[in-house]
Amino acid sequence: MDLISFRDLSKEDVEDYFARAEEMDRQLEAGNVEKLDGIVATMFFEPSTRTKLSFQSAAERLGLQIVDFVGSSSSLKKGESFEDTIRTVDGYADIIVIRHPLEGSARVASEFAEAPIANGGDGGNQHPSQTLLDLYTLKKMKGDIGALNVHLVGDLKHARTMRSLLYGLGMFGAKVKLVAPSGLEMARDAIADVKRKFEMEVEETETIDFKDADVVYVCRIQEERFEDKYEAMSVKKKFTIKPEYLQGVKEDMIILHPLPKIDEIPPEVDKSKYAKYFEQAKNGIPMRMGIMKKMLGSARQKKG
């Protein structure tokens, strides 16, 4: 039971993950988490704080053991292939969580491993557990996802979380406004896809105005993508979520962010009642607990 791409999931699959995360939340609150047996290998070929630590924390809370692969001290340095590395780690673990800079790497890993693969991010392509925890956060904090007006703000061209989230929001019938600087808009094929599949209402603009928003989901402007650093600074300044942007917004509006944030959200906004991104990150625990429990159950059922 791999989790490679959010696009592999149906709405029923997503709702099943919601139910599993809710059950994990109940168990965590009661201090009575059902313990499982197994070993989780975390293979991160790129730096990570939230994804890696939340998978590891979720595994620990489930009673699972962790083996942590560190590429810089592995046989990759001797020239071992990615495929052989996966085959080897597959013999040591019941679940493999992988992050890799190359798009499609998680899919390749799933072809060489018998253990379920959880994609923790493959380049600018997919990060399905992030999308699941984002949608779970919306459901938990706001109720009916389909009733929401969601603004996706920032570099929508390069942020891997945004394309999958747009797809997920379309799946549940939310209304979306895409707010991006010129040249960093959401890919046209992604917009066309959700409009075709879900008859989704999508608005595009360069202007920040949150007065009609129920949810503002921010990602950073990736300065390193600009050839002209002065232009990058100008765009970053415009797309900083200034306190004045919060004047006149809905009382129950929330601001989310996949993190890490750099300077696109200033400390004054961090302290506001609207900032919910650290609670959002914490929701990675019950969601990833639910994901791993499902993976172990499916894998053992298959073997049985």
pTM score of the predicted model: 0.93
138 and 122 belong to one structural domain: no
Pairing of strands 65-70, 254-256: unpaired
* % of the chain exceeding 90 in pLDDT: 75
> Residue 216 belongs to what domain range?
128-281
CA distance 27 to 297: 18
Q: Exposure of 114 by Cβ count < 10 A (0-12 exposed, 13-18 middle, 19+ buried)?
A: middle
pLDDT at site 296: 95
The 10 Å Cβ neighbour count of residue 88 is 14
Torsion sign (Cα): 109, 110, 111, 112? positive
Residue 260 within a domain: yes
Active site (catalytic) residues: 50-51, 78, 99, 127
CA distance 30 to 45: 36
Average model confidence (pLDDT) across the chain: 91
Only one residue has tokens 């400390």, namely: 267
pLDDT digits over 36-90, tens only?
999 999 999 888 889 999 999 999 999 999 999 876 656 766 677 899 999 999 9
151 and 40 belong to one structural domain: no
Number of domains in the chain: 2
pLDDT bracket for residue 169 (50, 70, 90): very high
Residue 135 within a domain: yes
115 and 14 belong to one structural domain: yes
277 and 287 belong to one structural domain: no
* DSSP state string for 133-186: HHHHHHHHHHS-GGG-EEEEES-TTT-HHHHHHHHHHHHHT-EEEEE--TT-PP
230 and 250 belong to one structural domain: yes
173 and 246 belong to one structural domain: yes
CA distance 223 to 3: 31
221 and 296 belong to one structural domain: no
CA distance 188 to 55: 33
59 and 11 belong to one structural domain: yes
- Domain of 227, CATH number, reads 3.40.50.1370
Across 65-69, 235-239, 241-245, 255-259, least confident range: 235-239
| Residue 255 in tokens | 């601001």
Residue 303 has pLDDT above 80, yes or no: no
pLDDT bracket for residue 220 (50, 70, 90): confident
43 and 74 belong to one structural domain: yes
Residue 163 has pLDDT above 80, yes or no: yes
Separation in Å, CA 189 to CA 166, 176, 186, 195, 197: 12, 16, 9, 10, 12
Using the 8-state DSSP alphabet, how is residue 8 labeled?
G
The residue with greater pLDDT, 106 or 229, is 106
Report the amino acid identity of residue 67: V
152 and 117 belong to one structural domain: no
